[in-house]
Amino acid sequence: MKLSRRSFLKLSGMTVTAAALTGLGFEVRQAAAAPLRTANAQETTTICPYCGVGCGIVCHSVNGKVVNCEGDPDHPINLGSLCSKGSALYQLTSSNERRLSKVKYRAPGSDRWEEKTWDWAITEIAKRIQRTRDDSFVTTDASGVTVNRAEALACMGGAALDNEECYAYSKFARALGVVWLDHQARI
């Protein structure tokens, strides 16, 4: 018997006059093409930021905001399909309130962030890079070999950075004399 107790209660609570209005037969619905929320959106292509397959994704944007992300049907690896992570790309965009949008600073001993400007942060960070580098720099080692190492400075990250970013980062780090250099590829 398919009738559950809950259904029975509903049945008894119902009145005869709660009748169907128009047909309970299966009339065909009007065939008006429903509007797509991606209509009139700008389309751009990207590559998924997650695993190393490199699936193609098409982003639809309206007024400077991404409204939809789907697989790129032209991409030979994924042919328009994606996994759950790529399918959720929309939630990585600025629609996600948790996205960082301001520069923050935490002072020694503090239990909170303070908002700062880019100018302030870049200046302060640069001063610390200079200080740490100068304080720990080893120009020649015990054998007299020129080694030019900034021994108290470390650079880490990032396997999700673009090639051009990784290249610039690698170049900058070495130019500073950094030897403590590593990232996700190692681990």
Partner 1 sequence: MAKAILVDTTKCTACRACQVACKQWNQLPATVTGFGGTYENPPDFRGSYTRVLFSESVKDGEVRWNFAKTQCMHCTDAACAMVCPTGAIRKSEFGTTVIDAAKCIGCNYCIANCTFGVIYFDRALNRARKCDMCYDRMSNGKTPACAKACLTGCLQFGERSEILAKAQAAVAAAKNRGLAGAQVYGQTEVGGLGWIYVLKDAPAAYRLPAAPEPPVTARFWQALFQPARIVAGLAILFGLWSNRKHSADLAPAPEGTATGAGRAISAGK
Partner 2 sequence: MTNHWVDLRNTDCALILGANAAENHPMSFKWLLRARETRGAKIISVDPRFTRTSAVSDLYAPLRPGTDIAFVGGMINYALENRLYHEEYVREYTNASYIISSAYSYEDGLFSGYDAAKRAYDKNQWAYEMDAAGIPRRDKTLSNPRCVFQLLKKHFARYDAETVSSITGCPKDKFLAVASAFGTTGAVDKAGTILYAMGTTQHTVGTQNVRAFAVLQLLLGNIGRPGGGIQAMRGESNVQGSTDAALLFHLLPGYLKVPASDMPDLATYLDKTTPKTADPDSVNYWKNTPKFTVSLLKAWFGEAATAENEFGYQWLPKVHAGRNHSHIAIFEAMYEGQIKGLILMGQNPAVGGPNANKERKALARLDWMVAVDIFETDTSVFWKGPGVDPKTIQTEVFLLPAAASTEKEGSVSNSARWMQWRYVAAPPPGEAKPDLDIIDMLYKKVKGLYAGSTDPKDQGLLSLTWDYGSHPDPHRVAKEMNGYDLVTGKLLVNFTKLMDDGATSCGNWVYSGCYTGDGNMSARRDASDPSGLGITPKWAWAWPVNRRTVYNRCSADPKGQPWDPERAPFRWDAATGAWVSFDVPDFVATVPPEKSAASPFIMRVEGVGCLFSRELNEGPFPEHYEPWETPVANGMSSQNINPAVKFWGEADNAKGDKAQYPLIGTTYRVTEHWQAGSMTRNCPWLAEAMPEMFVELSPQLAQQKGISSGETVKVVGARGEVLAKACVTSRFAPFNVEGQTCHVIGLPWHFGYNGYVTGGPDKKRSYAANQLTAHIGDANTTIPEYKVFLCDLRKVT
> Which residue ranges make up the site for partner 1 (CB under 8 A)?
1-4, 6-7, 9-11, 13-29, 31-37, 68-71, 78, 80-84, 86-88, 90
The Cα–Cα gap between 69 and 71 comes to 7
The Cα–Cα gap between 128 and 124 comes to 6
Contacted entry of partner 1, partner 2, none for residue 70, CB cut-off 5 to 8 Å set by kind: partner 1
Contacted entry of partner 1, partner 2, none for residue 137, CB cut-off 5 to 8 Å set by kind: partner 2
Contacted entry of partner 1, partner 2, none for residue 5, CB cut-off 5 to 8 Å set by kind: none
Q: Which of 164, 140, 154 lies closest to 186, judged by CA? A: 154
Expressed in angstroms, the distance from the first to the final Cα of the chain is 58
When the beta carbons of 35 and 109 are compared against partner 1, the nearer one is: 35
Query: Whole-number minimum distance, CB 136 to partner 2, in Å?
Result: 7
When the beta carbons of 35 and 52 are compared against partner 1, the nearer one is: 35
Contacts 24+ apart (CB under 8 A), 149-153: 149/177, 149/179, 150/176, 150/177, 150/178, 150/179, 151/179, 151/180, 153/129, 153/177, 153/178, 153/180
User: What is the DSSP code (8-state) at residue 24?
Assistant: S
Query: Whole-number minimum distance, CB 35 to partner 2, in Å?
Result: 21
The Cα–Cα gap between 133 and 179 comes to 12
Contacted entry of partner 1, partner 2, none for residue 12, CB cut-off 5 to 8 Å set by kind: none
When the beta carbons of 31 and 107 are compared against partner 1, the nearer one is: 31
When the beta carbons of 7 and 44 are compared against partner 2, the nearer one is: 44
When the beta carbons of 19 and 75 are compared against partner 2, the nearer one is: 75
